[in-house]
Structure 1
Amino acid sequence: MTGATDPVYLDYDQARLDLNYNQGAWASNAEEIIAWYRSASLEAHRKLACRHLAYGEGAAECIDLFPAASPGAPLVVYVHGGAWRMLDRMDSAFAAEAVVGAGLNFAVLDFASIPAARLPEMVTQVQRGIHWLAGHAGELGFDPRRLFVIGHSSGAHLAAAALTADTPHRIKASTVAGALCASGAYDLEGPMLSARGKYLDLTAAEIEILSPIRHVARLDCPVLVAYGEAETDEYRRHARTFHAALQAAGKTSTLLLAEGQNHFEVSRQLAVRDSVLFDKLSKVMPTLSVQSRF
């Protein structure tokens, strides 16, 4: 007979595991920052030129592209978070002004979320969106050799899964020059055993296919793995173990710690020019190209 405090995953009992996938419980300013995502994104749309593009026929299969001032600049593609079921492109352009100001193109890649889509479909939408952008680099005015993908929270999982999942829409080698995965979960067993499992509703086979840490051998680009000092225990573990797995597989990985930052504050660093995330991004992007290394 098992008790309420018996481990259900690693050394977590059910209550502690659920708490570790409830980032809001660890961040008293979560609602404030989520509101800022939207207000700062609306301000970016007000101040910057933006092209609204469609990579598919679905209502959510669209991209907002904020072009750099100079043609042929690199492209940063942002995959938003939201626990796989919240937020959209209009909450996700908050870094546009800083990124474009650094001489880079910035694209917000949108996709359907739970319950409108299941997680496997969301991963393939991100894959298709990245493929679409890479295939239209000439007309969109960016350097196809310097396409960089960023994901935060569930978006970090989606970005990493898009680069590793063997689906019919698997991203071709040498499409993506580099990736920044911030505050993500890279093995879906933990989320599925937590309270989030009720809406994720994944089969064992889907957990296997869509857990990036299990397929790091498929990655063919360098990865920045970032996390906040004030993240949950589990999200700090995800970052460290994903980084270690990449290194063990002979991949190029850099682990970035955002000191003092909670889960929601980490993504906000992408809009702050002197933050550790933005500083690293702005340094690697101008010289990064397909098959190069940090």
Structure 2
Amino acid sequence: MRTPRLSVVIPAYNNGKTIAETIRSILADGGDDIELVVADHSSTDDTLEQIRQFASDDRVTILETPSGGGAPRNWNRVTESARGELLKLVCGDDIVLPGTLRRQMAILEDPSVSLTACRRDIVDAEGKVLFSGWGLRGIGRRMPGHRAVRAAVRAGSNLFGEPASVMMRRSALEDAGGWRSDFPYLIDQATYSRVLFQGDFVPDLATGATFRMSATQWSVVLVRDQATQAKQFHRALHAEHPRAVSAVDVMVGNVRATLMARARQVSYWMLKRRMR
């Protein structure tokens, strides 16, 4: 069995309306030296049936994850089944734009780079672009990974973007202990940070993915909980890496996390009214 250079993994859950488009975007961009691992986490819609239409492609592996364990269980399930040197996780309602996989694989040919991330378009449930070229604010150049982590802490937000924007070295993710589950709302940023302490960050300055907003993101409680976990995460990073993330960084980042949460809630409210 061939060993792919890149593993793209999709932890799917109730993505019946979008998963086929997500898979097609990856297979069309990947070529023959990738594998695609998709795990359905006991969906209650037709997600699994939609996935199975791609079973004849020998690049595709289809798994079923029993219910329970939340997102970390399925994210780690697909990741542990990956065989490639490089890894990219894509959620089942997001899209990889043409050229992204090749561009990011080329960046990671440098063994000192542990992670790259691109800009993305934010789209609504129907795929209409709401914000274009979003991301990489303040991290638009190569830098040691710990500096990129510090920049994100001080910004009070995930500067790297959702998983479809990111590609990393699989060995670095394994050394980091897999997807971090102690901050569920920050599972992506918290994991990126552990990976980035192992190497450099190099941005992919193109817009390479789409992130689909869902109605659940408009919850006041959710946004408040995200801000609370961001502050806890900042303090944990300071405790683990005090020379990289200072107490002042945490203080600045916590204030900005609160402000970002309020701004995000206002934005979601305005978008919800616009989309009625």
Q: Which has more strand, going by share of residues?
A: 2
Q: TM-score, normalised by structure 2?
A: 0.28
Q: TM-score, normalised by structure 1?
A: 0.27
